[in-house]
Structure 1
Amino acid sequence: MNANILRLSPAAERNKRPILDVLRQVFPAHGRVLEIASGTGQHAAWFAAAMPGWRWQPTDFQADALPSIRAWAADTQAGHVLEPLQLDVLAPQWPLGPDPFDGIFCANMLHIAPWATCAALMQGAARHLTTQGALVTYGPYLEDGVPTSPGNLAFDESLRRENAAWGLRQREAVEREAQRAGLVLSERHAMPAHNLLLVWRREP
């Protein structure tokens, strides 16, 4: 394996087990899963290797992320990880074909992307999910009435210094964008390191 291709995210290594434990409850044992903002590819490879009934479609906005995604899939021998695609959530049409997905997974994107990506993610999920499908978002959030950890406050400040369009998102604001797209928050899971895993489904 070419170490220059295979990128490593320590955070992805730490959170893969608790995320997988919840995904097993949310997504069907057999189905098609779309990942938005796959990054290094560690989640795609590890989740697909653990759940051979999932056909995992990784994507990323950055073209230079795709070789690492391929490398992780090869390293774990997860043959049901599909060829990664370059995907911009802000594009009016996503390059995915007509078949819907049973699940969509997006980790740690909303706080390092412009706010417009939140509405685009929700609208794209509504277009591409099956009737019973679920969108799962994971990462740090701000919440009304819930104290924010000192670590997340410092993280938010550092993000905004780096890019004024970045920063931790208010869960309630994300919820409003989801509702505009016809999705509702169906589950809220508190995760390690003061993160949340949120499950969004079509309005009943």
Structure 2
Amino acid sequence: MKQNAPAALRNRGPIADVLAQELPAFGTVLEVASGTGEHVVYFAQRFPDIHWQPSDPDEQARASIAAWANDEGRQNIANPIALNAAGDVWPEIKVDAIVCINMVHISPWAASEGLMAAAGRLLAEGAPLILYGPYLEPDVPTAQSNLDFDASLKLRNPEWGIRPIGAMDRLAQANGMERKKRVAMPANNLILVYRKRS
């Protein structure tokens, strides 16, 4: 039932170090595209005063999330919900932050559009949307490994691919969000922190 993603074990610590600077001390954090569930159980342990709401559109992924959470016995992880970022139906719940790891490049652009629209609607002024993954930057050479990865993604699905930061910023602006931070991460990844404008 439990699924494993080797990358989650490698990147969860560095991601959590950034989350420690950006998340509120307590409240509810919605994780979009939780995948195997390994990230959310680690974050729930690292941030016990935060209530974590995992989500994923895939039924097998949700079963894995539930299995990991059950084994960990954490009381601050809610049951995973079915959520398609590209869909029109989002839970109208009060969230104090949204975290999304490794979804933007492995999904159609409509998923990023849905994510930003929901963040603009659900988040209060100053609340963060935190994205992790590879991005293309102007005036910054793209690592060959990311170029190769981008090509492989587009072979798997022409709607996938590593997105330009500028495109993400424009999408955020259109939904009342503004990028406040860019953090370089291991393996040529980035964390982008957007916050709801006043």
Q: Does 1:66 align with 2:69?
A: no
The percent of aligned pairs where both chains have the same amino acid is: 45
1:79 lines up with 2:85 in the alignment: no
| Residue in 2 that maps onto 1:157 | 151
Residue by residue over 1:159-192, the C-alpha shift from the partner in whole angstroms, topping out at 9 and shown as x without a partner, is 1111111110001111111110010100110000
Letter in structure 2 aligned against 1:24: A
The match for 2:163 among 151, 164, 169 is 169
CA distance in 2, matches of 1:37, 1:110: 10
SS, match of residue 160 in structure 2: coil
For residue 108 of structure 1, what is the amino acid of its counterpart? N
Unaligned segments of structure 2, at least 5 residues: none
Instruction: Quote the residue 1:120 is aligned against.
Output: 114
Q: Specify every segment of 5 or more residues in structure 1 that has no aligned partner in the other structure, as ranges.
A: none
CA RMSD of aligned residues (A): 1.0
TM-score by length of 1: 0.94
How far off its partner does 1:88 sit? 1.1
CA–CA distance in structure 1, aligned partners of residues 154 and 86 of structure 2 = 21
What TM-score do you get using the length of structure 2 for normalisation?
Answer: 0.97
* AA aligned opposite 1:36: V
CA distance in 2, matches of 1:92, 1:67: 23
Match of 1:9 in 2: 5
SS of structure 2 residue aligned to 1:70 = helix
More strand by percentage: 1
Quote the Cα distance in structure 2 between the aligned partners of 1:115 and 1:132: 25
Of the three residues 141, 152, 171, the one matched with 1:147 is 141
Contact 1:107 1:138 in 2 (8 A): yes
Matches within 5 A, 1:97-136: 97=92, 99-136=93-130
Counterpart secondary structure, 1:130:
coil
**What code does the residue aligned with 1:138 have?**
Y
Between the two proteins, the alignment pairs up a number of residues equal to 198
The alignment status of 1:57 with 2:53, answered yes or no, reads: yes
Q: 2:41 aligns with which of 34, 42, 45?
A: 45
Quote how far apart the aligned CAs of 1:123 are.
0.5
